[in-house]
Structure 1
Amino acid sequence: MALDIALLHTVVAVAKAGGFREAARMTGSNPSRISDAVRRAEEQLGVRLFNRTTRTVALTEAGRALMSRLLPAMDEVDAALDALNNFRDTPGGTLRLNVPVSAARIVLPAIVPGFLQRFPDIQLEVVAESNVQDVFRDSCDAGIRYDDHLEQDMVALPIGPRRQRFALAAAPAYLAQFGTPQHPRDLMQHRCLHGRYATGVIAEWEFTRGEETVSLQPKGPLLCSIGATMELTVEAAIAGCGVVYLFEDWIKPALSNGNLQPILPEWWQSFSGLWLYYNTRRLIPTPLQVFLDYVRELNVQYCAPSEVLNL
């Protein structure tokens, strides 16, 4: 039974994504076009592949049977195409990464330009999200996460600086008007520009000095979703609206040019850096392999000599 290969790819995308909208996002299409392609595939095959409701799209028994045979075959096709890289002067193909917004902002800019210059035939697609997702659900080849969000049974490779800090800061004009906090608890009397996780939980601000740790729930005139909209808190802080507590590397330009003034730096909390992780049970495509090699090469500059052997 013949079927247009493009329709097969669409069916696989919907099965992996669990819905037309997610499949459209993954493939750069739109939900109505995806839905129409699935309908045409079902008409050509003469069986229903998905049960549809207003809220869910799920494989039927026939759909599951097809996927059990089709997915390994599609992987073989991908492997065959990837093998052509052995005959190219430079590797080609697409590399899809799922990363937190902070990684796209403060780590990848030091990596991506050099990588793209060295491998001009590779197309890099970066999916930056504020909430933690299963990276492989979106057909990504690898993900970047902090160690408390690493998925099980994955290989993790350090990427970027191994230690980061949160930095507390405010504009000089704000501090002149409201005074400079002398202890983290003083922040309860200040206008804090803070964030909320995708789960709805408002992030606590935590500070550490020696053996003492202080956690507090900030309050203030601006609350933004943690991720891309946190840039708004930085701009508001620069404008003198309040105090911001964010990744040091994120606000470093404003600290360097004097738009923001550091507060209580001896209390700034440090944490371990990001990790690049991937599934070794899957075929490692050439674009991912050369990216891994490139990151390992860069990692040497971030590590102490005793750590290099562990990369």
Structure 2
Amino acid sequence: MKVDPGDLNAFVAVARAKGFRSGARKSGSSASAYSEAVRRLEAQLGVRLLNRTTRSVVPTEAGQSLLARLGPVLAEMEAALDVVNVFRERPAGTLRLNVPVSASRLVLADIVPGFLAAYPDIQLEIFSEESFVDVIAAGCDAGIRYEERLEQDMIAVPIGPRTQRFAAAAAPAYLERCGRPKHPRDLLNHACLRMRFSSGAMPPWEFEREGEKLRVEPVGPLIVQAGGGTDLAVDAAIAGSGVIFLFEDWLRPHLQSGALVPVLKSWWVSFSGPFLYYPGRRLVPAPLRAFIDFVKADGEQR
């Protein structure tokens, strides 16, 4: 069966964006053109691929199966066509990265401006989310994760700070009102501001000192979505609502200004920094190769 590749691209774009308008906008087309392309594809295949309502567009079971198979295939096609980039004076094209919100804020903020200046013909698309996805199936070229989350068949390149810490902190007014915790277990009697991932997981707070490791699951008046709600939790901590536990780099400006003060600092845990990861079994697109080289050079300068 001969199918128009443009129709397949339209289906993938709409399914990933969960909407005709948003899918077409990201691809520089029109919603009506993409709607017609998907209808044409469904007619040719003889099966419905998308369930459409006035509020959402969701792949059917058949659509999900097709999307899972098409994602890697289209990514390989893009990579194969990208080999002509080596004949250009400067790499060009689109680079799509899937990263946690923390990496977007604490890692990429120091890298992206210089990269864009060095490669003006590359368009960078950043998808920030806290859920762990298959970057290829999601239409991305690479992602950022921490070592324990890396898949074994991925190539990993260090990116950003090589050592990070989680820090506990609270506003001076809160500590004056409620007292300062002297041991991690004391947090069980404090108002703690927690974060929950989209999976529903709410990780415990981990501490370590002189070989003693503790995992604490405190309670408190506020739970926010990790990533999107993090700044709200920080603002609540500054306002005196409770103790927060977050990347030290995220809290540093407020620790330096005195809006927040360290809590249990001798118990803060250090861990290795993040990695840029990508599949090693495919051609590396020129924009990604340029980014990898830029990241490696940045790391050598640190």
The TM-score, its normalising length taken from structure 2, stands at 0.85
* Equivalent residue runs for 1:52-131 within 5 Å: 56-59=59-62, 75-76=76-77, 79-80=80-81, 82-131=82-131
Counterpart of 2:188 in structure 1 is 188
Does the residue aligned with 1:214 lie in a helix, a strand or coil?
Answer: strand
* Equivalent residue runs for 1:204-215 within 5 Å: 204-215=204-215
Matched, 1:21 2:21: no
Counterpart of 2:299 in structure 1 is 299
How much has 1:76 moved relative to structure 2? 4.5
* Equivalent residue runs for 1:1-311 within 5 Å: 6-13=6-13, 21=18, 28=25, 34-43=34-43, 46-48=44-46, 50-51=48-49, 56-59=59-62, 75-76=76-77, 79-80=80-81, 82-302=82-302
Give aligned-pair identity as a percent.
48
Does the residue aligned with 2:259 lie in a helix, a strand or coil?
Answer: coil
Q: Match for 1:57: what amino acid?
A: T
Q: Match for 1:21: what amino acid?
A: K
Distance 1:49 1:116, change over 3 A: farther
Distance 1:173 1:287, change over 3 A: same
- Return 5+ residue gaps in structure 2 as ranges: 53-57
Does the residue aligned with 2:176 lie in a helix, a strand or coil?
Answer: helix
Does the residue aligned with 1:219 lie in a helix, a strand or coil?
Answer: coil
Counterpart of 1:307 in structure 2 is none
The C-alpha deviation readout for 1:43-86, integer Å capped at 9, x for no partner, is 4xx432555568642448xx96xx78x98688446533x23423
Does the residue aligned with 2:187 lie in a helix, a strand or coil?
Answer: helix
Does the residue aligned with 1:135 lie in a helix, a strand or coil?
Answer: coil
The C-alpha deviation readout for 1:206-263, integer Å capped at 9, x for no partner, is 1100111121111111111111211111010111111101000011111111111111
Q: Which aligned segments of 4 or more residues in structure 1 are displaced greater than 3 angstroms?
A: 1-6, 11-14, 22-36, 49-56, 70-78
Query: Is residue 197–residue 225 contact of structure 1 (8 Å, CA) maintained in 2?
Result: yes
Query: Is residue 24–residue 31 contact of structure 2 (8 Å, CA) maintained in 1?
Result: no
Q: Match for 1:79: what amino acid?
A: A
Query: Is residue 26–residue 139 contact of structure 1 (8 Å, CA) maintained in 2?
Result: no
How much has 1:199 moved relative to structure 2? 2.1
Does the residue aligned with 1:131 lie in a helix, a strand or coil?
Answer: coil
In structure 1, C-alpha distance between the alignment counterparts of 2:157 and 2:19, rounded to whole Å: 28
The TM-score, its normalising length taken from structure 1, stands at 0.83
The C-alpha deviation readout for 1:161-220, integer Å capped at 9, x for no partner, is 111100111111111111111111111111111111222222211110011112111111
Does the residue aligned with 1:90 lie in a helix, a strand or coil?
Answer: coil
Query: Is residue 20–residue 31 contact of structure 1 (8 Å, CA) maintained in 2?
Result: no
In structure 2, C-alpha distance between the alignment counterparts of 1:217 and 1:174, rounded to whole Å: 20
Give RMSD over aligned pairs: 3.0
How much has 1:24 moved relative to structure 2? 7.0
How much has 1:274 moved relative to structure 2? 0.3
Q: Match for 1:236: what amino acid?
A: A
- Return 5+ residue gaps in structure 1 as ranges: 303-311
